[in-house]
Copies of this chain bind each other. A is one copy, B any other.
Amino acid sequence: MDALRVGLIGLGTVGTGVARILIEQSARMKLRTGREIRLTKVAVRDTFKPRSIDLPTSLVTSDPMAVATSPDVDVVVELIGGLKPARDIVLAALKAGKDVITANKALLCQHGDELFAAAREAKRCIAFEAAVAGGVPIIHTLSQSMTANQITSIQAILNGTSNFILTEMFQKQAAYADAVALAQQLGFAEADPSMDVKGTDAAQKLGLLTLLAFGTRVTPDQFLVQGIDTIELADLEYADELGYAVKLVATAKLVAGKLELHTQPTLVRADRPIAQTDGPFNIIGLTGDIVGTTWYSGQGAGGMPTASAVVSDLIDVAAGRARNNFERLDLWGSHPPFPLQPVEEVNRRYYLRMEVEDRAHVMAEITDALGRNEISLASIIQHETPEPEEVATSGGRPRFVPLVIMTHKTLEGRLRKAGEALAKLGCIRTPWVCMPISD
């Protein structure tokens, strides 16, 4: 059988890993597919930059479009990320009759409809195992292994950087800024970590999983997305005291025929698999109406784990499986999408931490504001503080003490109204912290 000729666009950490595997493991690739998988073109931004991998100069170009449309390429691997010029490159490659492999969740989440339609039009495929959870084969699992089921719930840690930072803060008693600096130093976070720590990256990945599991297209602007950048060490410690861990949890689940979606720092009971997933790891729990809940975990980022997923897609293309898989993917809504549950109707327990004025009647005012919005309290922590006369005076300014409240289940809408009422009281320092508690 003819060799499968690969055009690689982008030679960062993942791209370098893919090139290395194709060059060093060519015998293995042939054993798995019966064909050679050969790297024939590589596009890089800077052809003069020194690389950790030796590539023949004849392979390398700085023109990604030349790779996308080259007659010497059968399949294009897009690893540059972002929307521009990735979208144009993928469309050009499909139009030129290439199959496409991508790890670009932002692109698929934003322009998936257009790209999938273009692939179907060209009778080619898009494979994207590497777009979610690095080396964990969650795309294969959802699109092939769980097909007997209607997925009813996805609960996941999808951003390794955030999880590393939260773990580091808790285990080393570190402040948020210090943990971020360490993550950058170790290569787990970008110089600008905002896509990771603000929850966008996890929300885009949740969008892709939602498309596969529920046939419903969503973008992060349509649901609750919060990052870990407002979390303080104190919250991790209170959570621990209460028997929980704080994780950036991405959730998509069917509730009475509507799709509840959110990506937020969340308190998770310490004995649950999500709470036990530490460091730069990802974990995904899938619940199906037949199989029950199954769990998948592993390194969610990093060059080699993600390269492993890209190469498994290449092997699927070479073996002739990828197009069949893509054709059968129920991505384009042959069943109607599920309506999204309005944010106000999301029904959960909540953790509230606030600095409140240390004077008589404050607790009555706060619990009254909550109670009038039908929010009932499950537990309260107010640690003993020194008597006012024992501490230095603060020049007549009111003294504040921390108060932690766990609520019973309530609607997000009621919580927001209660928030407005609490803000009017004037006895609570802003901003306070509010996190959902997972079931």
A interface residue numbers (CB < 8 A to B): 17, 21, 25, 28, 31-34, 129, 135-137, 140-141, 144-150, 273, 276, 288, 290-299, 304-305, 307-312, 314-316, 319-321, 324-325, 328, 330, 334-335
User: Given A145-B312, A324-B324, are A291 and B276 neighbors across the interface (CB < 8 Å)?
Assistant: no
User: Shortest CB–CB separation between residue A321 and chain B, in angstroms?
Assistant: 5
A136 surroundings in chain B (CB, below 8 A): 294
CB <8 Å contact, B147 and A32: yes
Q: Which residue of B lies closest to A287 (CB)?
A: B298
Tell whether, in the assembled complex, residue B293 and residue A298 are in contact, meaning their CB atoms are under 8 Å apart: yes
Say yes or no: A307-B292 contact (C-beta < 8 A), given A21-B148, A32-B330, A276-B276. no
- Chain copies in complex: 2
Listed A/B pairs (10) with beta-carbon separation below 8 Å = A25-B148, A28-B150, A31-B334, A135-B290, A141-B141, A148-B315, A290-B307, A290-B311, A292-B304, A324-B324
Complex contacts, A291 vs chain B, CB 8 Å:
135, 298-299, 304-305, 308-309
Give the chain B neighbours of A335 by CB distance below 8 A.
31
Bound-state Cα–Cα, A312 to B147, Å = 6
Closest chain-B Cβ to A142's Cβ sits at a distance in Å of 10
Distance in angstroms from A154 CB to nearest chain B CB is: 14
A79 CB, nearest partner CB in chain B, Å: 15
C-alpha gap A33/B294 in the complex (Å)? 23
Chain B contacts for A330, CB-based, 8 A: 31-32
Q: How far is the CA of A290 from the CA of B315 in the complex (A)?
A: 15
Q: Given B135, B149, B273, B310, which contacts A292 in the complex, CB threshold below 8 Å? A: B135
Shortest distance between the CB of A270 and any CB in chain B (Å): 11
**Pairwise interchain contact B32-A328, C-beta atoms closer than 8 A:** yes
Question: A286: nearest residue on chain B (CB-CB)?
Answer: B298
Q: Which residues of B contact A312 (CB under 8 A)?
A: 144-148
Q: Are B140 and A145 in contact (CB under 8 A)?
A: yes
Query: Closest Cβ of chain B: how far from A144's Cβ, in Å?
Result: 6
